[in-house]
């Protein structure tokens, strides 16, 4: 055991005891100290044992070049398993490792208690490792190019998944209820008709294709279902990214203030905290914004009541429900301009714009920030399959318009998976492949 590991092991009981003094039972975590390339690999793939794809290799090299050139640093990676496993960068100093340990306690607390995370599978990495073995067999059996193409097309719509493969349309609904029914004259063979084969409509685009594509082999359906399950696994986690990082940052900042550190380590930990939690001039830093919002919640409600709020909310809902005009001012969420349009000195994250403070609409600003934090992927709905097996999709503009070039390329991948023409209707466009 190295001196650093020995010092870290002596620190763990102190930081666990400090969190217990808050009235919160800290979650046991397995800590492993690993080299930088191992951290980059796990951050690129998401978890150990993941199946391979060229996009993960791209992300690995991009991350490696970014961090090794000094543009940021990745201190740790924590996986939601039973118990959670935290991988610590071996080049971290002792002060950095102590901060990371306290930070991970915040993540682990949400893993076990947040309403969107506590029932998530805790051994999903084993599911992906098993899938990786099957994918290696498919690669040998059917060729790497064929597997790569299926993965390319499936990963392109990994975010277009839902918890159920479909839902029952409202009672009495017919094909006339479909918003684009008037595009086909009555009696024309291409006119959408009520489907008797499928439960439609559904927002589970990837799941629908995996189950009902007329052309996919069984191994290809397996690939799509694995990609779908991973999309479902990460979907709720994307909704609480700011809460996760904000709570973890609050924990490390408060815990290190309560645990007695040598003066040199206190200064270094404060410097690292300032590098992580600072108001970014071009957007909202989730570490900084979440930490500061939680500080305001704790000051108003107390620690345990504030934590109870966090455990029930998403990033978007906590902003909509709790961000008051007074807190907006306290967080400096406004960017001010002179009346002729020239930018004044920024007052904080440049997420919200207004000409005059007196004319600011708190509801508008709150919703704008909540929508930005929500990061909702486009919802593509399978509306129907016509008599010629043409797949009819729709997208309703929810403030996130589709990129036309990417939409067309993605639709071509959907056609390869479906095996028949595909049509996508947007509010102001139509795509076909």
Digit-coded pLDDT (tens) for 160-171: 999 864 444 434
Identity of the highest mean pLDDT range in 143-157, 179-193, 382-396: 143-157
**Mean pLDDT, residues 172-200:** 48
**CA-based nearest residue to 197, from 210, 211, 183:** 211
Position 393 scores a pLDDT of 94
CA-to-CA separations, 217 to 138, 410, 415, in angstroms, rounded: 11, 21, 15
Cα Rg, the chain, nearest whole Å? 25
**Mean pLDDT, residues 123-150:** 95
Position 341 scores a pLDDT of 52
Position 350 scores a pLDDT of 41
Q: Is the pLDDT of residue 290 over 80?
A: yes
Q: How confident is the model at residue 358 (pLDDT cuts 50, 70, 90)?
A: very low
**Mean pLDDT, residues 199-227:** 94
CA-to-CA separations, 380 to 69, 202, 375, 411, in angstroms, rounded: 39, 9, 15, 11
Position 188 scores a pLDDT of 44
What are the tens digits of pLDDT across the range 22-79? 999 999 999 999 998 888 888 888 888 899 999 999 988 888 887 777 666 778 899 9
Q: How confident is the model at residue 335 (pLDDT cuts 50, 70, 90)?
A: low
Q: How confident is the model at residue 172 (pLDDT cuts 50, 70, 90)?
A: very low
Mean pLDDT of the chain: 84
CA-to-CA separations, 301 to 44, 49, 307, 308, 326, in angstroms, rounded: 38, 42, 9, 10, 16
Query: In this structure, are residues 108 and 25 in contact, taking their beta carbons and an 8 Å threshold?
Result: no
Position 64 scores a pLDDT of 83
Angle made by CA atoms 6, 7, 8, in degrees to the nearest 5: 90
**CA-based nearest residue to 251, from 87, 423, 104:** 104
**CA-based nearest residue to 75, from 100, 111, 44:** 100
Q: How confident is the model at residue 7 (pLDDT cuts 50, 70, 90)?
A: confident
| Choice among 197-206, 319-328, 340-349, 365-374 with the minimum mean pLDDT | 340-349
Q: Which residue has the tokens 């007074």?
A: 326
**Mean pLDDT, residues 132-155:** 96
What are the tens digits of pLDDT across the range 100-127? 999 999 999 999 999 998 888 888 999 9
Is the peptide bond prior to 83 cis by the omega test (within 30 degrees of 0)? yes
| Burial class of 236 by CB neighbour count within 10 A (0 to 12, 13 to 18, 19+) | middle
Q: Is the pLDDT of residue 390 over 90?
A: yes
Position 338 scores a pLDDT of 52
**Mean pLDDT, residues 130-150:** 96
Estimate to the nearest angstrom the gap between the alpha carbon of 14 and the chain centroid. Answer: 32
Identity of the highest mean pLDDT range in 6-10, 239-243, 378-382: 239-243
């Amino acid at each position: 055991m190295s001196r650093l590991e020995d010092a870290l092991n002596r620190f763990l009981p102190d930081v666990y005891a400090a969190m217990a003094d808050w009235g919160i039972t800290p979650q046991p975590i397995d800590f492993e100290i690993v080299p930088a390339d191992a951290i980059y690999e796990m951050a690129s793939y998401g978890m150990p044992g993941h199946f391979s794809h060229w996009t993960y290799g791209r992300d690995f090299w991009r991350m490696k070049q970014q961090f090794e050139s000094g543009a940021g640093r990745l201190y740790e990676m924590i996986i939601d398993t039973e118990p959670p496993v935290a991988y610590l960068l071996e080049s971290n100093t002792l002060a950095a490792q102590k901060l990371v340990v306290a930070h991970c306690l915040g993540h682990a607390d949400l893993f076990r208690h947040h309403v969107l995370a506590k029932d998530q599978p805790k051994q999903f990495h084993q599911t992906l490792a098993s899938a990786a073995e099957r994918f290696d067999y498919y690669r040998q059996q059917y060729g790497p190019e064929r597997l790569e193409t299926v993965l390319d097309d499936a990963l392109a719509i990994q975010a277009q998944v839902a918890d159920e493969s479909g839902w029952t349309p409202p009672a009495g609904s017919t094909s006339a209820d479909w918003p684009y029914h008037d595009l086909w004259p009555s009696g024309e063979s291409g006119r959408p008709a009520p489907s008797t084969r499928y439960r439609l409509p559904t927002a589970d685009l990837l799941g629908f294709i995996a189950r009902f594509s007329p052309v996919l082999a069984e191994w290809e359906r397996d690939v799509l279902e694995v990609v779908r399950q991973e999309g479902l696994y990460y979907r709720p986690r994307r909704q609480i990214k700011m809460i996760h990082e904000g709570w973890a940052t609050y924990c490390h900042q408060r815990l290190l203030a309560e645990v007695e550190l040598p003066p040199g380590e206190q200064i270094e930990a404060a410097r690292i905290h300032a590098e992580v939690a600072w108001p970014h001039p071009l957007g909202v830093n989730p570490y900084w914004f979440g930490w500061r919002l939680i500080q305001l919640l704790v000051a108003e409600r107390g620690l345990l009541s504030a934590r109870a709020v966090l455990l029930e909310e998403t990033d978007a809902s906590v902003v909509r429900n709790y961000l008051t005009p007074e807190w907006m001012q306290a967080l400096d969420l406004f960017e001010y301009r002179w009346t002729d349009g020239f930018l004044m000195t920024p007052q904080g994250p440049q997420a919200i714009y207004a000409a005059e403070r007196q004319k600011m609409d708190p509801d508008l600003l709150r919703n704008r920030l909540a929508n930005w934090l929500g990061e909702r992927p486009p919802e593509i709905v399978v509306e129907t399959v016509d008599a010629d097996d043409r797949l009819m999709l729709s997208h309703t503009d929810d403030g996130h318009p589709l990129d036309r070039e990417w939409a067309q390329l993605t639709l071509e991948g959907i056609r390869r998976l479906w095996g028949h023409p595909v049509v996508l209707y947007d509010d102001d466009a139509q795509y076909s492949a």
